[in-house]
Structure 1
Amino acid sequence: MNDTTTALNPFSLMMEPELVLQTMERSQQLRGLRRHKLRPLDKPLIPYTKEALANRAAYDAAIDAEDLEAQADAYLLN
């Protein structure tokens, strides 16, 4: 198999990581990409209000208060 065919075949590239790196280095499209780091989990995009935090805490408390084992037993017995 010649180099052009190998470079175009993604399955052969998966078997040869060094060839992948060489192909990436030669790629004009990859070199043209703008590079910047995104960190979406560092902070929320929309700040939480006290009301939203209270609502979420109330919802979590309601879920925690439910007797899930009893509900599962009732579901399985019916």
Structure 2
Amino acid sequence: MSTIALELNPFSLMMEPERVLQTMERSQQLRGLRRHKLHPLDKPLIPYTSEALASRAAYDEEIDAQDRKAQASAFLLN
């Protein structure tokens, strides 16, 4: 009973990495998993046009200008 409790205790497993590997090898659930490799997307699904990039840059600049204006007015009030 105590060996089963130690195998299932995550804190005891953290202190003994070799027991983690042994437990993983004995696990029916882990052996039953399907294995496949996932790849991150290298490119966006929809390519951005130069107009869309320019529009986004203009919007970002507008937001940044508002932030700078708010910071300047807060600085002047103090």
Question: In structure 2, what is the equivalent of residue 75 of structure 1?
Answer: 74
CA displacement at 1:9 relative to structure 2: 0.7
Question: In structure 1, what is the equivalent of residue 8 of structure 2?
Answer: 8
Matched, 1:54 2:54: yes
Q: How many residues align?
A: 76
Question: In structure 2, what is the equivalent of residue 24 of structure 1?
Answer: 24
Query: Taking structure 2 as the reference length, what is the TM-score of the superposition?
Result: 0.67
Question: In structure 2, what is the equivalent of residue 43 of structure 1?
Answer: 43
Q: Percent identity?
A: 64
RMSD: 2.7
- Specify every segment of 5 or more residues in structure 2 that has no aligned partner in the other structure, as ranges: none
SS at match of 1:39: coil
CA displacement at 1:49 relative to structure 2: 3.6
For residues 33-55 of structure 1, give each alpha carbon's deviation from its aligned partner in whole angstroms, at most 9, with x where no partner exists: 222222324222x2134143332
- Specify every segment of 5 or more residues in structure 1 that has no aligned partner in the other structure, as ranges: none
Query: Taking structure 1 as the reference length, what is the TM-score of the superposition?
Result: 0.67
